[in-house]
A and B are shown apart, each in its own frame.
Chain A
Amino acid sequence: MEREDIRKELKVSAIENGTVIDHIPSKNVFQVIKILNLSEYQDQVLIGNNLDSRKMGKKGIVKVSNKFFKSDEINKIALVAPSATLIIIRNFEVVEKKNVEVPDYAENIVKCFNPNCITNNEEIVTKFTVIDKKELKLRCHYCEKITARNNIAFR
């Protein structure tokens, strides 16, 4: 990390062990928290938002103590934050850095953009197949319509 980044990093306290999710678009930070169900998490969760970032202008960062996510768990956030990077911390040291990957399926994360879809009118778990990971296109299991990056919304 460059010195400037490290200084900014310190605006959100360091964690001893756990996962740092960095480079989250500011507007999606709370969505990431929701998808990872962090409101129920009992250990420390540190959240920073609207931090300056050279790469993205403004960014959000979430640090979760003593939590090492499984890949299917973490890949879900690629739908809201494809730019996110994961940093695994052990003993205050960075031991691994990786990018998130868009998953093949999305269950109960995305809202179908079609207002006439049954999932927007009854209590139903939404299911989507990702048919294009690059352009982010998801086909609704129910109405078969395609929700794309420009009209994606989250539950």
Chain B
Amino acid sequence: MKNRSLISINDFTRAEHIRILELAGAFENNPRQRILQDYVVATLFFEPSTRTRLSFESAATRLGAKVIGFTDSSSSSVQKGESLRDTILTVSNYCDIIVMRHPREGSARFASEVAKVPVINAGDGANQHPTQTLLDMYSIRKTQGSLDNLNIAFVGDLKYGRTVHSLVQALCHYNTTFHFVSPLELKLPSAVKIDIKQRNLVYHQSTDLLEVIPKVDILYMTRIQKERFSDPLDYEKVKNAYILNNQMLDAAKPNLKILHPLPRVNEITTDVDGNPKAYYFTQALNGVFVRQALLASILGVVD
């Protein structure tokens, strides 16, 4: 994967995804190696995302790399009206790889075409966030032993949830049975179902979380935002139907794990946190190993 950009989860093949996940496993066993000490990583955050930025910077720093960049566009020349093209061309001179987050969809793809160094997309608007997808895949594979033939439920905002869309796309390569649980207003868009249908995979749609819990290996929770509803009354009607509490897990399979891209607001009650099925904080830690694997393989220091 040397010198290749990672913009969309589909830029890498199934075999390449697995290779990254295996490498991430090696970094989990040995997270502090100074293999990137001759490299400069630029983290360009045109909109703030503290969690993602810290995860990348932790990954880079633990491998000995120097990190430069900015944390939001108000503190950079973008504020003065500089084009994305010019910013990327300039920063390319100072670093070996760019990690970027930008509020507009397609910005990372464009940057990768302009830049002289590879680009990792850390989120382009509502479009893609492939490193999140890879860390989700890592977490599923690690807790279930394999990515193949699992029953996976996605719960909450399936209409606007970018992390859900990319993960569904990626899991279509692994014979997944999907369970989509959401209010009708926030159903999975049909464009995302195209891949599922093309591969003749089974999917179920439901509005009832409790009914789905006993059937699945992974429960992927997301936040339902009030702003997504045109009528506030519609939000009031559904807001409590998709909150997971500890008691609801009584009928769950023993291997069930709960994932969440974080930040959580109230969609998982805190009494779940002590349950061994809660995996969302470990999932965030896994993000560091996956990002180490990506930095190291794209910079060409591991194969």
Contacts and interface: CB of A to CB of B under 8 A. Distances in A.
B83 A144 contact: no
Nearest to B109: A142
A67 interface: no
B84 A143 contact: no
B127 A143 contact: yes
B126 interface: yes
A12 interface: no
B125 interface: yes
Contacts, number: 51
Contact of A116 (B85, B109, B110, B125): B125
Interface in B120-158: 124-128
A103 to B, nearest CB: 21
A144 B110 contact: no
Interface in A100-150: 112, 114, 116-119, 121-124, 140-146
B106 interface: yes
Contacts of B127: 143-145
Nearest to B102: A118
Interface residues of B, number: 18
Contact of B85 (A112, A122, A142, A145): A122
A114 B83 contact: no
Contact of B128 (A117, A124, A144): A144
A142 B124 CA distance: 10
Nearest to B10: A144
Q: Interface SS of chain A: helix, strand, loop or mixed?
A: loop
A134 B103 CA distance: 33
Contact of B8 (A112, A117, A119, A144): A144
A142 B191 contact: no
Contacts of A118: 84, 102, 104-107, 109-110, 124
A124 B110 CA distance: 8
Given A144-B8, A144-B128, A119 B106 contact: yes
Contacts of A116: 103-105, 125-126
B109 A141 contact: yes
A145 B84 contact: no
Contacts of B102: 118
What 3 A-B pairs have minimum CB-CB distances, sorted nearest first?
A142-B106, A143-B105, A143-B106
Interface of B: 8, 83-85, 102-107, 109-110, 124-128, 191
Interface of A: 112, 114, 116-119, 121-124, 140-146
Given A116-B104, A119-B106, A142-B106, 20 more contacts: A112-B106, A116-B105, A116-B125, A117-B105, A118-B105, A118-B106, A118-B110, A118-B124, A121-B104, A122-B84, A141-B109, A142-B105, A142-B110, A143-B104, A143-B125, A144-B8, A144-B105, A144-B106, A144-B127, A145-B127
